[in-house]
Structure 1
Amino acid sequence: MLKVAIALMLLATIVSLFSGLFFLVKDEGHSTRLVKALTVRVSLAAITLILVTWGFYSGQLVSHAPW
């Protein structure tokens, strides 16, 4: 369940990134919609980082790296 939540948060972050790009091109930077879209993107990325950290701390996510 945690992996699905992380994947959805990453997908939402990408959607927010492209919506910010769309507002940048369409409004030519003269609107607050770009700032709001990028604020949402940063918030989603922070929540994703918190979910990943919690997953490692709780043992739901495990690293299989050889080092």
Structure 2
Amino acid sequence: MKQLLEFLGVALLFQGAVGLAHSFTGALRGWGLIQRFGFLDGYETYASVALIVLACALFAALRSLGAD
């Protein structure tokens, strides 16, 4: 279970970073999921930052569980 949550955290961090790179530079078109959601038009940067914050919170929660 811990490995699955770690993978989810890495995926969230990657998607957030790709979303920010796309928002600021226009590069990496087609790599991120944020750009594919129509209801996030105009809020891609905020959603990308939210994904990065969620990934950090997930990593902090996993760290508090301790090493298994």
TM-score normalized with structure 2 length: 0.59
Q: CA offset at residue 2 of structure 1?
A: 0.9
Q: CA offset at residue 4 of structure 1?
A: 2.3
Q: List runs of 5+ in structure 1 lacking aligned partners.
A: 63-67
- Match for residue 32 of structure 1? 43
- Match for residue 65 of structure 1? none
Identity percentage of aligned residues: 9
TM-score normalized with structure 1 length: 0.59
CA distance in 2, matches of 1:8, 1:36: 16
Q: List runs of 5+ in structure 2 lacking aligned partners.
A: 27-41
CA contact (8 A) 1:10 1:45 kept: no
Instruction: Figure out how many residues of one structure are paired with residues of the other and give that number.
Output: 53
CA distance in 2, matches of 1:23, 1:14: 14
Query: Which one has a bigger Cα radius of gyration?
Result: 1
**Higher RCO by CA contacts (8 Å cutoff, separation 6 or greater):** 2
Moved over 6 A (4+): none
